[in-house]
Amino acid sequence: MIDAILTLNAGSSSLKFSLFEASGGSLTRLANGELTEIGDQDRAAFLDQVLGWAEVHLGGDRLAAVGHRIVHGGAEFTQPTRLGATTMAKLEALSPLAPLHQPHNLAAVRAVAKARPDVAQVGCFDTAFHHGHAAEVDRFGLPREWEARGVRRYGFHGLSYEFIAGRMAELDPALAAGRMIVAHLGAGASLCAIRDGRSLDTTMGFSALDGLLMATRCGALDPGVILYLAASHGLTTAAIEDMLYRRSGLLGVSGISDDLKLLLASDQPAASEAVDLYVFRIVREIGALAASMGGLDGLVFTAGVGEHAPAIRQRVCERLGWLGASLDAAANARGGGRINDAASRLALWAIQTDEEQVIARQTRDLVLRT
């Protein structure tokens, strides 16, 4: 009997899932899928269907474990961890730091526990990849008592960055060992400075609001703005949270859409202004991370926008000419590999990420090898 692992990535209204066969030292993806536009009340029923689907695909094989993407692991959870009552209580306490993700990640864990109580469950944390930064990278300029209470930078998208770091070690070992920035550009977006497979710095911080402009999130913001909104306009904490997470970013600046495809195609000035700001913030943060590493050898684009928006890659790289970036136009239009031309001093890549592969590997290593 061969063991199998189901991976779950639960969003606010979606559920991505993949089924892997774990045989010897290898992982083979058997099937995958995604459910969209599901509500919280329907989540348990949909998960039960996914579990049934997995068991049909397994035939005589055994579902050994379910691995979950958990966005926030805080300071404590720096390795894949079995999920039980004590662990879940600690992760629930982190929900205010990732309100768009954490509650839905944990709801999926509870639903699986109810439907299949005998199946091991493992949490794989987006924050874990960034553990081990130098103290000055993660420290805020606040009284030390707040750092002791966990108010510090954590970083996110770690499962994606871990996959890209490993993949680049195969595709371009020299770059992977050098000074590489990975641009994870999706609905949520961040950058990570990586050297020898380790995160040295990243743009997201205490929460998933920080750093780049995103689809509906504001990115880095002067904290004085929040004080002003509360003191001068009477906005409640809930109203401010809703605006910063759900009504800002590309959507807020354009007033049209959070979809870059629509904004790039639009002739409305506000759409162009939103895209300009999006690109500017990416380029500025690349400069900051290059300074953190003492230089830059290459840039890797990944995630939905990074993989599928050649116009954004082009605009970013044009503004990085001072660092030596030079695109091959035909390669950039195709995507899916190396996209710099022969004159470029920077290695430029567009690579598909695979968070599920990392979740499956981490889950296998914890459950089947311990």
Q: Which residues contact 282 (CB under 8 A, 6 or more apart)?
A: 183, 185, 189, 191, 212, 316
Is residue 359 within 8 A of residue 9, CB to CB? The reply is yes
Return the bridge partners of 35, or none.
15
Q: Chain-centre distance of CA 130, in angstroms?
A: 12
Between CA 293 and CA 194 the distance in angstroms is 9
CA gap 187, 215 in Å, rounded: 5
In the DSSP assignment, the letter for residue 294 is T
First to last CA, the chain: 18
- Give the active site residue among 3, 40, 61, 126: 126
262 contact partners, CB below 8 Å, separation of at least 6:
256, 271
Instruction: Give me the phi and psi of 30, to 5 degrees please.
Output: -90, -40
Q: From residue 252, how far is each of 68, 215, 218, 244, 270 by CA, in Å?
A: 31, 9, 8, 9, 10
Tell me whether residue 48 is one of the annotated catalytic residues.
Answer: no
Please report which helix (H) or strand (E) contains residue 253, including its range.
Answer: helix 249-254
Dihedrals phi, psi of 91, to nearest 5 degrees = -70, -35
Catalytic machinery residues: 126
